């Protein structure tokens, strides 16, 4: 057993890796496999949960480009976790992957003890609204119970740090604008004091986790920070979400499903801008505070799909697919579909000096180019082959 990644870990010559078996049972299905748990020391890295997902992997790549410290990526590798995203840094001495579940309390404790992180950036979550409508069990388990475990273990770990470590430690919880519910046309964007009104099981599970984070700061003094961000798009996004799904289907001449009348509005932000905002909050944010992050880029879903179609037309690929707009199909609406999200990001701009670098046009250009240039990634993800790749490289079963 053991693939390239772990051979490399062994070469660091520090500690023996231990094999483990896992079976994840949920009412939505059962998955089992085997993996490795192993450790080697790094100087005060940050611990990132969910770092093999869309935003987490962009964050880790950006962190290693922009910061000096190391990163431990703690991820369960659900269908949404793809280590292929991080293949370019797999042998970077400042990066280590740890396969684990945030609900596994003993293992979370062990990881914190062994790695001594200076901060936790908590991305791990079930993140797709449609899946939460179909079956919410994993959302309750990971988003609520998992966040509870992370908070409990972070609290115990933090309480035992020496004074300087205690002073420096942060628990940054990554959340969403969806906790605030839906806006009517013309209503001002959500701000940090907007009352919570989550409408989907996903949003409700994230709202519950936000409340727990707030309580652990208020009651126990845990140095928490919370970020609530609008819809992200960019490289490595799993093609079950609107923008990557539209690009991938348009390329292949497949239908482009638009829910309901297509006039639901989202506020879009390029993923790298979100990652920069998280780094700004981590380094300069005020403990116990919440920061809303958004792109001031409200678009209807139909506008998004039409933007992708026009870009694909300009590329003048397969003439038979021209104009791509003809691939649009209106399908049954999502149950409880929120009509409009918009973020008021003035607090983070004013207090931390953050602002998005990308416009919608430049971000979409980068995103479309990335998906067209990374056809192999797309093929592996859409065919499920990425799980085989991870199995070969990381001794996990597909
Ligand atoms: P994603 O679904 O792409 O990735 C989630 C990652 O978490 C995966 O790597 C998965 O393997 C891991 N994970 C899931 N359950 C786990 C568990 N029990 N233990 C350990 N790891 C587990 O999600 P994303 O789009 O990258 O979102 C990351 C975070 O940002 C989430 O908390 C989400 O709520 C939040 N967020 C997302 C958006 C967006 O537009 N995608 C916007 C705002 C906030
Ligand atoms: P999505 O990318 O799932 O993000 P979220 O639900 O978190 O906002 O969906 C974005 C919007 O696009 C949402 O209003 C639902 C809509 N949508 C479609 O119209 N067609 C699709 O195929 C998908 C996946 C989403």
How much is the pLDDT for 34? 43
How much is the pLDDT for 12? 35
How much is the pLDDT for 8? 33
Inter-residue contact 352 to 284 (CB < 8 Å): yes
- Rounded to the nearest whole angstrom, what is the distance from the C-alpha of residue 164 to the centroid of ligand 1? 31
How much is the pLDDT for 38? 54
Residues with a CB atom less than 6 Å from ligand 2: 129, 231, 241-242, 245, 257-259, 264, 266, 301, 334
Indicate if 104 belongs to the active site: no
pLDDT digits (tens, 9 = 90+) for 136-192: 999 999 999 999 999 999 999 999 999 999 999 999 999 999 999 999 999 999 999
Sheet holding 231-233, edge to edge: 231-233, 265-270, 298-300
Model pTM? 0.92
- For a substitution probing ligand 1, which of 50, 239, 272, 394 has the most ligand atoms within 8 Å of its CB? 50
- For a substitution probing ligand 2, which of 205, 228, 233, 301 has the most ligand atoms within 8 Å of its CB? 301
How much is the pLDDT for 169? 98
How much is the pLDDT for 17? 45
The residues with which 291 forms a beta bridge, in sequence order, are 227
pLDDT digits (tens, 9 = 90+) for 13-61: 344 444 445 444 444 555 454 444 555 668 789 999 999 999 999 999 9
How far apart (Å, rounded) are the C-alpha atoms in residues 119 and 21? 28
Judge residue 1's burial from the number of C-beta atoms within 10 Å of its C-beta, 0-12 exposed, 13-18 middle, 19 or more buried.
exposed
**Residue nearest ligand 1's atom 37 by CA:** 176
Indicate if 180 belongs to the active site: no
Selected catalytic residue, list 101, 178, 210, 276: 178
How far apart (Å, rounded) are the C-alpha atoms in residues 84 and 386? 7
Task: Spell out the domains of the chain, with CATH numbers in brackets.
Answer: 18-238+268-297+336-359 (3.40.50.720)
- Rounded to the nearest whole angstrom, what is the distance from the C-alpha of residue 56 to the centroid of ligand 1? 7
Contacts of 139 (CB under 8 A, 6+ apart): 125, 126, 131, 132, 201, 202, 205
Contacts of 110 (CB under 8 A, 6+ apart): none
pLDDT for residue 239 is more than 60: yes
9 sits in which H/E element: helix 4-11
Pick from 187, 165, 194, 275: nearest CA to 229: 275
How much is the pLDDT for 305? 98
Residues with a CB atom less than 6 Å from ligand 1: 49-50, 52-56, 75-78, 80-81, 101-103, 123-125, 127, 142, 146, 174-176, 206, 229, 231-232, 238
Confidence band, pLDDT 50/70/90 cuts, at residue 397: very low
Crossing angle for the helix pair 375-383 and 385-394, nearest 10 degrees? 100
How much is the pLDDT for 31? 47
Give me the DSSP letters along 252-274: HT--EEEETTS--EEEEEEHHHH
Contacts of 37 (CB under 8 A, 6+ apart): 17, 18, 19, 20, 98, 99, 100, 107
**Secondary structure of 287-328 in the HEC alphabet?**
CCCEEEECCCCEEEHHHHHHHHHHHHHHCCCCHHHCCHHHHE
- For a substitution probing ligand 2, which of 190, 233, 266 has the most ligand atoms within 8 Å of its CB? 266
pLDDT for residue 270 is more than 90: yes
pLDDT digits (tens, 9 = 90+) for 73-119: 999 999 999 999 999 999 899 999 999 999 999 999 999 999 999 99
Crossing angle for the helix pair 105-115 and 147-159, nearest 10 degrees? 40
pLDDT digits (tens, 9 = 90+) for 272-320: 999 999 999 999 999 999 999 999 999 999 999 999 999 999 987 788 8
How much is the pLDDT for 7? 34
Ligand nearest to the CA of 125: 1
Q: Would you call 356 helix, strand, or coil by DSSP?
A: coil
Confidence band, pLDDT 50/70/90 cuts, at residue 387: confident
Indicate if 202 belongs to the active site: yes
Pick from 173, 84, 78: nearest CA to 131: 78
Selected catalytic residue, list 75, 177, 276, 358: 177
Confidence band, pLDDT 50/70/90 cuts, at residue 329: very high
How much is the pLDDT for 386? 79
- Rounded to the nearest whole angstrom, what is the distance from the C-alpha of residue 334 to the centroid of ligand 2? 9
- Rounded to the nearest whole angstrom, what is the distance from the C-alpha of residue 126 to the centroid of ligand 1? 6
How much is the pLDDT for 316? 75
């Amino acid at each position: 057993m053991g693939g390239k990644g772990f051979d490399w870990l062994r070469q660091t010559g520090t500690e023996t890796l231990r094999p483990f078996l896992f079976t994840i049972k949920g009412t939505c299905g059962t998955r089992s496999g085997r993996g490795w748990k192993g450790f080697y020391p790094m100087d005060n890295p940050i611990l990132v949960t969910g770092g093999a997902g869309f935003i987490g992997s962009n964050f880790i790549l950006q962190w290693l480009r922009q910061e000096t410290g190391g990163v431990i990526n703690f991820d369960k590798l659900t269908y949404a976790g793809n280590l292929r995203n991080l293949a370019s840094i797999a042998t970077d001495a400042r990066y280590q992957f740890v396969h684990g579940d945030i609900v596994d309390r003993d293992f979370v404790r062990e990881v914190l003890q062994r790695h001594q992180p200076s901060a936790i950036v908590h991305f791990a979550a079930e993140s797709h609204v449609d899946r939460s409508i179909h079956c919410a069990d994993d959302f309750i388990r990971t988003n609520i119970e998992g966040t509870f475990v992370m908070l409990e273990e972070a609290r115990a770990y933090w309480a035992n740090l020496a004074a300087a470590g205690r002073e420096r430690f942060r628990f940054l919880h990554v959340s969403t604008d969806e906790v605030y519910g839906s806006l009517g046309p013309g209503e001002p964007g959500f701000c940090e004091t907007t009352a919570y009104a989550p409408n989907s099981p996903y949003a409700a599970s994230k709202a519950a986790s936000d409340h727990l984070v707030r309580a652990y700061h208020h009651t126990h003094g845990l140095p928490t920070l919370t970020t609530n961000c609008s819809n992200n798009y960019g490289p490595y996004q799993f093609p079950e979400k609107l923008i990557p799904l539209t690009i991938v289907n348009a390329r292949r001449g497949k239908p482009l499903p638009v829910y309901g009348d297509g006039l639901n509005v989202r506020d879009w932000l390029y993923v790298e801008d979100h990652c920069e905002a998280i780094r700004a909050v981590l380094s300069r944010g005020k403990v116990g505070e919440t920061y809303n992050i958004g792109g001031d880029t409200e678009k209807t879903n139909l506008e998004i799909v039409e933007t992708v179609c026009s870009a694909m037309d300009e590329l003048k690929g397969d003439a038979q697919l021209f104009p791509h707009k003809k691939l649009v199909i209106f399908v049954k609406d999502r149950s409880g579909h929120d009509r409009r999200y918009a973020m008021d990001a003035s607090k983070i701009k004013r207090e931390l000096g953050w602002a998005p670098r990308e416009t919608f046009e430049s971000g979409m250009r980068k995103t479309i180019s990335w998906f067209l240039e990374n056809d192999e990634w797309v093929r592996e993800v859409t065919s499920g082959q990425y799980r085989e790749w991870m199995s070969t490289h990381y001794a996990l079963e597909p």
